[in-house]
Amino acid sequence: MSDRGSITRRIIEEHLAEGKFEPGEEIALRIDQTLTQDATGTMAYLQFEALGIAEVKTELSVSYVDHNTIQSGFENADDHRYLRSIAAKYGILFSKPGNGICHQVHLERFAIPGKTLLGSDSHTPTAGGIGMIAIGAGGLDVAMAMGGSPFYLSCPHVIALNLKGQLNPWVTAKDVALKVLELFTTRGNVGRVFEYKGEGVKTLSVPERATIANMGAECGVTTSVFPSDDNTLQFLRAQHRAHDWIELIAGDDPDGDDYEDSVEIDLNEIVPLAACPHSPDNIKPVAELEGMEVNQVCIGSCTNSSFKDLMTVAKILEGKKVHPDVELIVAPGSRQVLQNIAIAGGLTSLINAGARIAECTCGFCIGNSYSPATDAVSLRTSNRNFMGRSGTKSAKVYLVSPETAAAAAITGRITDPRELGLKYPHIALPEQFYIDDSMILQPARTSATGVEVKVYRGPNIGAPPSFSPLPDTISGLVTIKLGDNITTDHIIPAGSRMKYRSNIAKYAEFVFEPLDRQFYKRASETMRKGKYNIIVAGDSYGQGSSREHAALCPAFLGVKAVIAKSFERIHMANLINFGILPLIFDSRADYGLIDRGDELEIPDVRWRLANNEQIVVRDKSKDKGKNGYEFKVRTQLTKRERSIILAGGLLPYIKSGIKVNGGGER
Ligand code: MIC
Ligand code: SF4
């Protein structure tokens, strides 16, 4: 690997399959490793099967089961069995339910500095904490990578985040992540990478760096990356994986063009912070919220469930009891964390204090368990507090550090942990973790009989739907008009609905359920009339998760275009993969002129897209009697993406080999 330039540039250049390192231009990256989790995994593997490839072509692919582990009914269990049989058949490692959250386990057991990782989960950048380029994507893109195809993306603009100084006691990596969200917010960061530099980086361990990289996902960046240095070596050594270490430090930037911008963050100045309801960028100092009554405290999730996180909480709670009015839930990030806090005595302190010890899974974070009571205040160490995500619409979720969470568990109120009057428990990483990988199945082990592995398909697992090519003209109705910051949790809820991830016809009934329960009915009626459904939205449409169901289910309901002020990266890629045209208002004022129910026509759209000509939308419900009100929209699509939409999505594109004319690079 060259020793010149930013870490981002060095890893990308080492993995370029197409294009060159020019921010904003389309590039294709060779992918060394993939990860999937069960909620996105079944659909990803159904699509992988459709590619007809005998075996995964990556250096390593791991299938985790960590999201849908509440097996109330056969659906989840059937999915797990399907995933296990697919892993055995195609050469994929299988991390059993209970072994831990994909990002935590991947960091511990598989992440390698300098490599690329593509994961069907938006928090895949967690592995950036070890010095990987780790990117979240839709399941179909991950399926393609498992099949050996490169991953296409816009070459990122790299922002240097220069950390100086050192965190004060009781101030943590989570507070740094929240500070970054305060500075950059949840929108406007598409196509960027945050690269962490500076003396302050040396004061952070790998799990702390991983917490910060994890929440870059909330800013919408492509990924976040840290150097690989002595701390990285120490972490890998503790994981008995020193052989995976390489040093990776940003080199000279002779042309001075590797970083688009540089922002300094003084770690000494950060104080305990909280993200207030209902967005991860709604940041306030904990001190300003002090005294607010707390009903629930949840510690865990892929952001803050490491050994250090839980041992710190255990030390704070040692010899104390959880406040009588608070329920405390602790979900270790992995079985390794659980085993090691048990060995170190932390688990006993947590149990004695009155914590409810949950499984090593996503659990509360995805809202499929431990939902708070009506109107409750819940303090969580997770990364998203979108309205209703906890499973309780009226609940108020605050995102905080494990230290702040533990303080509230004791006092029953939001408390600045510095005011607890305790000595800060500095927890060092063990020299060597206790390691037991017996819940990670090697492909050969699952087919112990030597007979060809039979893929198990339960009745809830349907074939992935296919979609028609883009029509010459889109004639449709505005089925829903939305505001800014619509998340994928709004588009297709997770929580209790998540068990239908493998059954698109059923899951589609819940599209936009949190916002408009009539959407499914209206969309079905439009389809019966032989028209398409069109979604109109404001800024930053599709924030949050990588779930391709937020595109797949609308496509199943006849959505052919989304017209928005701006889109988030992963969701836009998913729309393209399922043949939905993402259009951007040329004049933002036109957004105000459209109403739900309006009849829209997008004439000659097929020809215009193919030839990269201006696309025009005609609102036939406005200026009646004339030709309707016409407004201009644009796309931010590469040639390849335009071809995919023309074909009706990525799978039909691969089969059809359609190619288009003209420029149109993003
Ligand atoms: C999330 O945190 O929202 C999820 C659930 O992990 C999603 C993936 C999914 O919807 O299955 C994500 O972050 O991509
Ligand atoms: Fe799981 Fe929550 Fe992390 Fe998503 S954000 S992977 S649901 S722990």
3-state secondary structure 454-475: CCCCCCCCCCCCCCCCCCCCEE
Task: Tell which atom from ligand 2 comes closest to the C-alpha of 121.
Answer: 6
The CB-side HSE value for 314 (13 A sphere, CA atoms) comes to 27
What's the CA-to-centroid distance between 545 and ligand 1, angstroms?
5
487 close to 186: Cβ distance less than 8 angstroms: no
Is the beta carbon of 42 within 6 A of some atom in ligand 1?
A: no
Tokens 């909280």, residue located: 274
What's the CA-to-centroid distance between 358 and ligand 2, angstroms?
15
What's the CA-to-centroid distance between 10 and ligand 1, angstroms?
29
Token digits of residue 360: 């090593």
Quick one: pLDDT at residue 450? 59
Angle at 335 between CA 129 and CA 75, to 5 degrees: 100
Quick one: pLDDT at residue 663? 46
The CA distance from 93 to 441, in Å, is: 6
Is the beta carbon of 536 within 6 A of some atom in ligand 2?
A: no
Quick one: pLDDT at residue 256? 77
Hey, do 7-269 and 273-419 end up sharing a CATH topology, with the first three levels equal?
Answer: yes
Query: Which of 366, 383, 386, 489 has most ligand 2 atoms within 8 Å of CB, for mutation?
Result: 366
Domain 7-269, CATH class in plain words: alpha beta
Ligand nearest to the CA of 43: 1
Is the beta carbon of 40 within 6 A of some atom in ligand 1?
A: yes
Query: Which of 40, 99, 121 has most ligand 2 atoms within 8 Å of CB, for mutation?
Result: 121
What's the CA-to-centroid distance between 501 and ligand 2, angstroms?
16
Is the beta carbon of 619 within 6 A of some atom in ligand 1?
A: no
The CA distance from 299 to 278, in Å, is: 18
Is the beta carbon of 383 within 6 A of some atom in ligand 2?
A: yes
Quick one: pLDDT at residue 664? 46
Query: Which of 35, 120, 365 has most ligand 2 atoms within 8 Å of CB, for mutation?
Result: 365
Q: Specify the residue with its C-alpha closest to ligand 2, atom 2.
A: 365
Query: Which of 123, 124, 381 has most ligand 2 atoms within 8 Å of CB, for mutation?
Result: 123
Is the beta carbon of 574 within 6 A of some atom in ligand 1?
A: no
Ligand nearest to the CA of 547: 1
Is the beta carbon of 485 within 6 A of some atom in ligand 1?
A: no
Is the beta carbon of 488 within 6 A of some atom in ligand 2?
A: no
Question: Under CATH, which number does the domain 273-419 receive?
Answer: 3.30.499.10
* Alpha helices per DSSP H over 52-92: 74-90
Rg, the chain, Cα only? 24
What's the CA-to-centroid distance between 137 and ligand 1, angstroms?
11
Is the beta carbon of 328 within 6 A of some atom in ligand 1?
A: no
Quick one: pLDDT at residue 573? 98
What's the CA-to-centroid distance between 619 and ligand 2, angstroms?
40
CATH (one of 3.10.20.30, 3.40.50.720, 3.40.190.10, 3.20.19.10) for 474-656? 3.20.19.10
Task: Sort strands 474-481 and 599-602 into parallel, antiparallel or unpaired.
Answer: antiparallel
Which of 51, 68, 60, 94 minimizes the C-alpha distance to 458?
Answer: 68
Query: Which of 76, 545, 570 has most ligand 1 atoms within 8 Å of CB, for mutation?
Result: 545
Quick one: pLDDT at residue 655? 83
The CA distance from 614 to 40, in Å, is: 35
What's the CA-to-centroid distance between 302 and ligand 2, angstroms?
6
Quick one: pLDDT at residue 625? 65
Quick one: pLDDT at residue 660? 63
What's the CA-to-centroid distance between 562 and ligand 1, angstroms?
21
What's the CA-to-centroid distance between 333 and ligand 1, angstroms?
15
Is the beta carbon of 362 within 6 A of some atom in ligand 2?
A: yes
Query: Which of 67, 101, 104, 507 has most ligand 1 atoms within 8 Å of CB, for mutation?
Result: 67
Is the beta carbon of 122 within 6 A of some atom in ligand 1?
A: yes
14 close to 131: Cβ distance less than 8 angstroms: no
Is the beta carbon of 40 within 6 A of some atom in ligand 2?
A: no
Q: Specify the residue with its C-alpha closest to ligand 1, atom 10.
A: 547
Quick one: pLDDT at residue 290? 98
Q: Is the dihedral of CA 275, 276, 282, 287 positive or negative?
A: negative
What's the CA-to-centroid distance between 591 and ligand 2, angstroms?
33
The CA distance from 394 to 388, in Å, is: 7
Is the beta carbon of 106 within 6 A of some atom in ligand 2?
A: no
Quick one: pLDDT at residue 466? 87
Is the beta carbon of 382 within 6 A of some atom in ligand 2?
A: yes
Q: Which residues of the chain fall short of a pLDDT of 70?
A: 445-451, 624-625, 657-666
Q: Which residues pair with 275 in a beta bridge?
A: 283, 399
Q: Specify the residue with its C-alpha closest to ligand 1, atom 12.
A: 545
Q: Which residues pair with 617 in a beta bridge?
A: 631
- What is residue 641's three-state secondary structure? helix
Q: Specify the residue with its C-alpha closest to ligand 1, atom 7.
A: 545
Ligand nearest to the CA of 79: 1
Domain ranges of the chain: 7-269, 273-419, 474-656
Is the beta carbon of 221 within 6 A of some atom in ligand 1?
A: no
What's the CA-to-centroid distance between 547 and ligand 1, angstroms?
6
Which of 15, 11, 1, 6 minimizes the C-alpha distance to 145?
Answer: 15
Task: Tell which atom from ligand 1 comes closest to the C-alpha of 570.
Answer: 14
Residues 6+ apart with CB under 8 A from 371: 364, 390, 391, 392, 395, 495
Is the beta carbon of 553 within 6 A of some atom in ligand 1?
A: no
